[in-house]
Amino acid sequence: MAKIRKLTKNQKRRIQSNHYNKINKKNIEWQDDMLGHFDNGLVIARHAKHADVETENGEVFRCNIRRTLKSVVVGDKVSWRKGSEQLQGISGVIEAIYPRKNELSRPDYYDGIKVMASNIDQIIIVSAVLPELSLNIIDRYLVICENAKIPALIVLNKIDLLNDDERQEVEKQLDIYRNIGYQSLCLSAQTGEGMEKLDRYLSQGTSIFVGQSGVGKSSLINQILPESNILTNKVSTNSGLGQHTTTASYLYQLPQGGKLIDSPGIREFGLWHLEVEQITQGYIEFQSILGLCKFRDCKHNTDPNCAIREAVEEGKINRTRFENYHRLIESSKEVKGQRYFKNN
């Protein structure tokens, strides 16, 4: 009997893609006379070929997306038109996207730079104190925030698992970031400690959670919105589709004011789409010193008369941050060298 060969990841990906395309090959086409007037809306969920649009009065409709639109993401402000009737659960068409004030993007091996969300007022970096607080991961996210020009808030979850001495040590580590202008919170989604402070931050515009798996982002959302499935049910009622439709990203309207975006696709960010100069610019404490090095192409490592390294030696720049900076650069170079990346 012939041995059955296992499929590669790329083969599985192509098979799944072809299967999906066959299921969806009959696209719903709207004639212009079937569509109403233009309305403004906010994209609160993005699916494979559709998006859920919330109107100014809070109604939610699942819409097709014009093929001329390159990308529609959660947080987009759009112009859309409602159909005269539902077609296979679709209620209208997104016609245009208003200019974005910012974008949060991540690199993708297959799609190049992929925009995940837009029009964000703050990025909330969620980390956990156990098994060990990773400053390297926090620094990675901060580089992303600085390059996107979006303010960051550092949130440490599971603080209830630490004793008093351990809490003091964590506070010292957070002082590294507070001393250069970043804000931070220690809290527990399990006990509710510190959640009222987070609520005050969340009430200020549109926020998005980023962080690795296991840090408790889902637990935080359950604390903030214990009945978060209400929005999904509302979409289900209006669109005629089941509430368990897979969603890549979702925007929640918060009861205390403000909006919160949760996106499974941004659990982890690589930096290999950034140039070395962009990673350097992602370190805000370097900014007043850059340009003072003896050599214009200074690598800020063993180069003579390096102003950055001298600032580290004088205690003006935290040594851990400086060491993480070089780790991020080396890691980025290593990944870039492993495989081709399409930079859009």
pLDDT digits (tens, 9 = 90+) for 159-204: 999 999 999 999 999 999 999 999 999 999 999 999 999 999 999 8
Feature table: binding site for GTP: 157-160, 211-219
- Give the Å distances, CA to CA, from 70 to 61, 94, 280, 333: 21, 12, 30, 30
Feature table: binding site: 157-160, 211-219, 293, 298, 300, 306
Q: Does domain 33-97 have CATH number 3.30.750.24?
A: no
Q: Which of the pair, 329 or 335, is modelled with greater confidence?
A: 329
Homologous superfamily, domain 276-338: Probable gtpase engc; domain 3 (1.10.40.50)
pLDDT tens track for 287-305: 999 889 999 889 998 889 9
Feature table: binding site for Zn(2+): 293, 298, 300, 306
Q: Is the pLDDT of residue 245 over 80?
A: no
The pLDDT score that the predictor gives to residue 241 is: 42
b/e code 166-181 from CB counts within 10 Å (16+ = b)? ebeebeeebebbeeee
**Which stretch of 42-56, 80-94, 120-134 has the lowest confidence by average pLDDT?**
80-94
The CATH number of the domain covering residues in 103-266: 3.40.50.300
**CA quadruple 224, 227, 229, 232: dihedral positive or negative?**
negative
Instruction: Spell out the domain ranges in the chain.
Output: 33-97, 103-266, 276-338
pLDDT-derived band at 47, boundaries 50, 70, 90: confident
Residue spans of alpha helices (H) in 151-271: 164-178, 195-202, 217-224, 229-239
